[in-house]
Structures are given as structure tokens and as C-alpha cells.
Structure 1
Amino acid sequence: MTGETPRFSLPRWRLTRWLADTGPDVPMEIRYALVAGLFGTMPIFIAGLFNTVAVSLLVAIRIPTWPFILWCVFDILCCSARLVVLLIARRRAARHEPTPTDLYILLGVAWAAGIGFGAFISLTSGDWVSATLVCLSATAMVGGVCFRNFGAPRMAGVMIALTLGPCTFATPFLGEPILLIGFVQLPFFIYSMSRAAFGLNSMLVATMQAEREHAFQAKHDLLTGLPNRVGLNQALKASLARYDGTRPLAVVYLDLDGFKTINDTHGHKAGDRLLQLVSDRLRRLVRAGDLVARIGGDEFIVLSEQVGGGPLKRLGDRLVRELSQPYSLDDQVRVTVGASIGIARAPDHGLDLESLMSAADSALYQAKSDGKSRCVIAPLPREAASRLLPQAAPLSTVA
């Protein structure tokens, strides 16, 4: 898996699924990317852990009572667990193994609740130095919570509420009526920060969807939805990069016979419809795992890593036969086209993109020259053919 993008598991538990939900109609690949964002930005993560542990430890030293000692112990254990789970998840994601996403999300929520608890007991302790330190720390954490977790806006909202909410509920115990304004201020602050997280999430999803569409359009033919020349080149390079000589790799180059006549007779709209029907039929004819691409005009490529030797010719003949069956462009127009095919295979015709495409193109030209609507496998190069010739017996030597 070296060089592949790490993939973090989507949450599976009902609560964590709700916390990490990004809204309806979000493609699965974007959901994976948003979950991966929860595990990113390590500097902010480490800074947040260090800050909360340092603050809880200093306050516990200043006020060594059981509530503060328990808060400090909880904070240290929770932060340590979050760090361990994060490192395990990153390692598993790099190997494309299931990651403890649910546990990681719940630990994040528990960490926020710990900060809120510390703020509550600090405010009600009467020690304004500790209260000021803890409240400043809690407020500072809100920015990091939003920045790290806006990929899961509900989770961000819950963490903000757990972090700052206890500050509001502590105000009735402080003996300062002016502080009751917090019941008005903090809810609005929590709401606005939560809405900001939802807004950032919506912008991110829209941006990722646009990038996804642009990437698709760059690599696919808009008429048929098949990979275009760029997409084919990438797929073929990837196949050649992992080629180990133990499995077949074939490039099937296909050109329609008589397409121009249909295009000229019935118009470009009918020609486009025919190309779509040919594409659909090609998808059904090839094996699962084979790639079908349209590289321009009425030219198609099938990239197969499953058929080699004799079966290649049978595959080509089958494609010629099936693609030559009539097509219904509408209720009144039925047309027929032929298909000429040239096939090259690795390693006989090379182990690079240019060599394989050149050999397949030459075989296609030969199929056209031989009368069209037929399949030709590119002949072996001289070097390969010479290796197949029987070796001459050595001359006997006269003593």
C-alpha cells in the first residue's frame, strides 16, 4: 500500500454516526475525506492536549482537593488515550485496515466534557486566578475544536457546548448577579460558533464536490462517461507499474467501421447516440475489472489484465461479432456498424505505454487493410520471435 492515500474507517455506532454526519447526498469518497480530516492537523492536536494537561495540573497543584485532582487525572488519562488511539488509527489507515474511529470521536467528546467540568469547579471554587486561567484555556480550545472538527459539524457543536456550557451554569453559584448575563451571552456564542462549523462544513463539501467533478471531467469522456485518453494513460501506466509478468496484460484497440456514413446520413445527434449505445454494449461484453475507454471519435480501448494467449483472439472475435449487431437509435431508426480490432500484449510488444499502443495501432491498421470487421493480434517483434525458434544442434567436432 505504499504511496496510497491513508483511509480512515467511517463511524459505525449510532451515536458516532450522528455526531460525524455531514448531511444528505454527500458522496462516499467525500465522507471518507471528511472523517480523515478529524485525524489531521497534528500540531493543533498536540498543542490542545499540552494546554489542557498543563492547566489542569497547575490548578490541581494550586488547589489540591479531590475534585481538582480527579479532573487532572482524568485529563491526563483522556489525553493519553486520545494520542494513542490517534497514532494507532494513522498506522492502520496507512495499511488500509479498519481504524478505531468511533472510539476516537467519543474520546474527543469526553475531552471537551473534561474541560467544561474543570471550568465549572474552578469558577465555583472562589479562586479567581484558577478560574481565569481555566476559562481562558476553555475559550482558546473552541477555536481548535472548530478548526479540527468542522468536517463533523455536529461533533464540533457538541464539543463547544460541553466546553463552554458549564461556565454558564456556574454563574448562579458565584454570588455576582452581573455574571448571570452569561445565560444570554454564552448560548449565543455557542450557537454562532456551531453555525460557523456547519457553514465551513458546507463550503468544504461544495468545494470537494466541485473538485471531484472537475477531476472526473478531466479523465472521462462527457458523452459516454468512459475514461478518456488521459484516464486511459493513467490506468495503463498503473497497470504497467505493477506488472510482474505472471498475469496477462492486453491492449485491445477498437475502431468502428461505417460510423462516418451513419453520422453523415442521420446527423451528429444520431452519431452521438450510437457511440453511447456502443459504449454500453462494450461495458457489458468485457469482464469485471477490465477498463473500457473512448480515446476520440469512434475509437475505443479495452485494457484487460485477465485474458492472455489464445483467449485474446476469442475475445476480439466476440467483440467484433457482438458490436456488429443492430442498434436502435429510436423507435424508427435501426443501424449497424462493424468493428475492427488490433491487440497488443505485454511483455511481447513492450512494457511501456508507447510500445503497446503502437503495436495495437499497427494491428488495427492491418485489420482494416484485410477487409475490416475482424480482429488481428500484433505479430511478435523479431527479438521475441527469435527466442521462440528452435536452437540449431551444435556441429559435431572431429577429433
Structure 2
Amino acid sequence: MKNTQQIYSLPRGRLAKWLVAPGQDTPHEIRVALVGTLFGTLPIFFGGVSNTIAVAWALAYRHPTLPFQLWLAAEILVCATRLCVLFFSRRRAAQAKETPTDLYILLAPLWGATVGYGAFVSAISGDWVAATLSFLSAAAMVGGICFRNFAAPRLVAVMIFCSLGPCCIGALLAREPVLLLTLLQIPFYMFAMSVAAQRLNGMLISTMKAERENSHRARHDGLTGLLNREGLFKAVGPRGTPPVTAGMTLLYLDLDGFKPVNDAYGHEAGDMLLIQVATRLRALGSPHALVARMGGDEFVIVDRIVDGHASQEMAAAVARAIEQPFEIAPGLAITVGASVGMATVTTEDTDIDAVLRLADNAMYDAKRRKKGGLGLEHQAPEAAGIAVEAFVVEGPTD
């Protein structure tokens, strides 16, 4: 399966971590997703870059003095660096490699500072046109800053402060009474946009948490916490019939004697039994094994076991583990059995549906042979490159 999702590295430095901190308890995968949003919305990024460079160029042309020329040079340098880091990060993320997230984050406030510097030198220049244009440019950037970076509200607040803060200082030094109005407007503007970014961030995180929870519920069994059928298909591969690769072993097992437990002790006891079965199956598989409840008292384990003999031992171990008594209530221990069908993939391009059907058939073959009193183990012929075996543990039958 080819992973087309771009994953960006979380920041490592203390300052960068502080800037992108969500401000609330957030799962790791959501924090990764939040950082990823900072690398998106390219139209807003290019619009902001084009605007600030155009204004700096126009005012440097109008005032060919050192302060304005420094502003233009700083805008070009910072914007070009941000652009290079952005595209480099996107390429690294597409290749599943580490990204320079710290550098990218720290360049954002620096860009805000260049905008603020331009507004400051324009205000103290005595040129009413330059001051008006630079102030409007700085104010216009705030909306884009908030919308593009609200996944990191602290970063938004710092960028707004760096871009609009110098406007207030410039207004005080400009000796132009009209500009003093900015001393009233800008603080409220900064506060309002920062609060808006924080609230949008909270809404985004709440939505992501809800989606994460819904996705987990859709792919996991509510009782045992194991994967359900859909979750198993999603975990093995993409789309409806994902491929399995050679060397994978699929065990399909059904509990023998589960119905009598339900009938004798009630559904709560049956649920407790299923939960304990799930716990034992998780313990038997490797760290990378997929364990699923297919419904009722049927379970599946998918694991990569290269050696065929080891696959048989695994199936036998599963059967023996189920045979051990289960304490479903204080002082109440019950014993059930298990019929296990095994399908070992030995060829490529075999979808999981085919493997499930073969293992399922082997499991029911084992159950029939058990009821007919035909021994403990039966091995069926190979079909379509898949070795199928059935294992039975003696115990109560349904």
C-alpha cells in the first residue's frame, strides 16, 4: 500500500513547540495533523507574499532610502526562504522523511516582523501615502495569518503582534494626530483576531477528536475493542478487497460451547467470556498481529509467520489457550473449546476475502469433524496456493 498522506514532523525546539502548542490536551496524531495544516492553504500564502513584496517594492521605489531598501531586501529574503522551506518540507513529507518544521515555524514570526518594520519606517517617514499603504497592508495580512494558522493560536498571536505592534510605535512617533487612532484600533484588532484563532483552534480540535472517535468506533468492536470486519479490511490494505502478501497466516476460530454459556448464565456472562477470549488472543499474536472479532463468537488473527511449522504451532497454541478455564464471575469458571481454521498465503495477488473464505471453510470442517468424532487435527489439500488446515480442541459443542 502506498501512503499518499503527507506527514510533517513535530517541532523539537522549545520555542517552536510553544508556538504551535494547541493549548489543550490533544492526542499525538491530532497534533501531527494540526502541524500539517500550517503547510497548506497555498493561495493564502502566495497572496500574502505577493502583497508584502509588492508594497515594499512600491515604497522603496517611492523612497529610495536605506530604511525602505532594507525593508524590500528583508521581505524578499524572508519570503524566498519561507517558500523554499515550504516546498522542501512538502516534498520531504511526501517521501515520509523528517521535515524542517522548526525552521518553517520560526520564519513565520520573522515575516510578520518584516511587515511591522515596513509599517514603522513608513509611519516615521512623514509620507502620508506610505504610512496609509503600509498600515493597510499590515492589517490585511492579519486575516490571512489568522485563517491560515489558526491550528496554532499562539503563533497567530505572535505574528499579529510582530506585524501590527510596530504600527502603534510608528503612530506615536509620526506626529500625525490621525494616526493616533491606531492606538485604539490595533490593540482591539489584535485581541479579537487572537481570540478568534483560539476559538477556531478549539473547534478544529473538537472536530478532529470526534472524527477520530467515530473512525475508531466504525472499525472496532464495541465489546472487546478488537478490530471488526471493516477494521480488519482497512488495516490489511486499501479499498474493498485488500491484498495480502505471501508469508501471512490467517487463523479463523469459532468458540465451541459459547451458546450454552449464554443460555445458562446470561448474556453478561457471555460478554465477559468474549472479552477474556479477546485478551488471550491479543497476547498470543506478535506486536504487529491483527486481531479481529468477525461477529458473534468468531475471531480472526492475521500475522506474518514465515515458517509453516510455526504457523501450525500458532494455531495449536490458540486452540490450547481457549481450552483453559475462564473465570467469568467470582467463583464461576467455565470451559469452552475452539475450532480453528488456518490459511497460509503462499502466492501473491490473493485478496483477503479469498483467504477468509478458505480459513472459514477449514474452521467449519474442523467443527464438523469434531462433532463426528474424527480426531484432533485435519489438514486439507492446498488450493489456489493457500495452505489450509483445521485444528480442533475438545470442549463443549454449540
- Please list the CA deviations of residues 153-207 of structure 1 after superposition, one character each: whole Å capped at 9, or x if unmatched: 1001110111111111222212234543433321111011000000000000000
Aligned to 1:285: 284
- Please list the CA deviations of residues 121-156 of structure 1 after superposition, one character each: whole Å capped at 9, or x if unmatched: 101111111111111111111111011100001001
State the secondary structure of the residue aligned to 1:304.
strand
The answer to whether the 8 A contact 1:56-1:72 is kept is yes
Aligned to 1:315: 314
Aligned to 2:128: 128
Moved more, 143-152 or 367-376: 367-376
State the secondary structure of the residue aligned to 2:350.
coil
Quick one: distance in 2 between partners of 1:85 and 1:384? 49
- In structure 2, relative to structure 1, the CA distance for the partners of 1:291 and 1:375 (3 Å cut) is farther
State the secondary structure of the residue aligned to 1:232.
helix
- In structure 2, relative to structure 1, the CA distance for the partners of 1:338 and 1:243 (3 Å cut) is closer
**Of residues 376, 380, 383 in structure 2, which corresponds to 1:381?**
383
- In structure 2, relative to structure 1, the CA distance for the partners of 1:347 and 1:263 (3 Å cut) is same
Counterparts of 1:139-218 in structure 2, within 5 Å, are 139-218=139-218
- CA shift for structure 1 position 264: 1.2
The answer to whether the 8 A contact 1:327-1:336 is kept is yes
State the secondary structure of the residue aligned to 2:370.
coil
Quick one: distance in 2 between partners of 1:222 and 1:380? 36
Q: Which amino acid letter does the alignment assign opposite residue 43 of structure 2?
A: P
- CA shift for structure 1 position 376: 4.9
- CA shift for structure 1 position 235: 2.8
- In structure 2, relative to structure 1, the CA distance for the partners of 1:355 and 1:134 (3 Å cut) is same
Quick one: distance in 1 between partners of 2:315 and 2:10? 42
Aligned to 1:222: 222
Structure 1: 5+ residue runs without aligned partners? 386-399
- In structure 2, relative to structure 1, the CA distance for the partners of 1:362 and 1:229 (3 Å cut) is same
State the secondary structure of the residue aligned to 1:329.
strand
Counterparts of 1:1-399 in structure 2, within 5 Å, are 2-237=2-237, 245=246, 248-347=247-346, 351-371=350-370, 376-381=378-383
Quick one: distance in 2 between partners of 1:382 and 1:128? 83
Aligned to 2:396: none
The answer to whether the 8 A contact 2:242-2:351 is kept is no
- CA shift for structure 1 position 4: 2.5
Q: Which amino acid letter does the alignment assign opposite residue 80 of structure 1?
A: A
Quick one: distance in 1 between partners of 2:334 and 2:191? 63
Q: Which amino acid letter does the alignment assign opposite residue 132 of structure 1?
A: T
Quick one: distance in 1 between partners of 2:195 and 2:385? 69
- CA shift for structure 1 position 120: 0.8
- In structure 2, relative to structure 1, the CA distance for the partners of 1:370 and 1:121 (3 Å cut) is same
- In structure 2, relative to structure 1, the CA distance for the partners of 1:139 and 1:345 (3 Å cut) is same
Q: Which amino acid letter does the alignment assign opposite residue 379 of structure 1?
A: P
- In structure 2, relative to structure 1, the CA distance for the partners of 1:345 and 1:27 (3 Å cut) is same
- In structure 2, relative to structure 1, the CA distance for the partners of 1:32 and 1:374 (3 Å cut) is farther
- In structure 2, relative to structure 1, the CA distance for the partners of 1:304 and 1:361 (3 Å cut) is same
Quick one: distance in 2 between partners of 1:2 and 1:131? 52
The answer to whether the 8 A contact 2:242-2:352 is kept is no
Q: Which amino acid letter does the alignment assign opposite residue 310 of structure 1?
A: H
The answer to whether the 8 A contact 2:236-2:243 is kept is no
Moved more, 154-163 or 298-307: 298-307
Q: TM-score, normalised by structure 1?
A: 0.91
Q: Which amino acid letter does the alignment assign opposite residue 380 of structure 1?
A: E
Quick one: distance in 1 between partners of 2:339 and 2:233? 22
The answer to whether the 8 A contact 2:53-2:75 is kept is yes
- CA shift for structure 1 position 348: 6.1
The answer to whether the 8 A contact 1:350-1:356 is kept is no
Quick one: distance in 2 between partners of 1:25 and 1:116? 33
Quick one: distance in 1 between partners of 2:347 and 2:142? 62
Quick one: distance in 1 between partners of 2:349 and 2:81? 53
- In structure 2, relative to structure 1, the CA distance for the partners of 1:383 and 1:62 (3 Å cut) is closer
Moved more, 325-334 or 374-383: 374-383
Structure 2: 5+ residue runs without aligned partners? 388-398
State the secondary structure of the residue aligned to 2:221.
coil
Task: Say what the alpha-carbon RMSD is for the aligned residues.
Answer: 2.1
**Higher strand fraction (1 or 2):** 2
State the secondary structure of the residue aligned to 2:329.
coil
The count of aligned residue pairs is 383
- CA shift for structure 1 position 379: 2.5
State the secondary structure of the residue aligned to 1:79.
helix
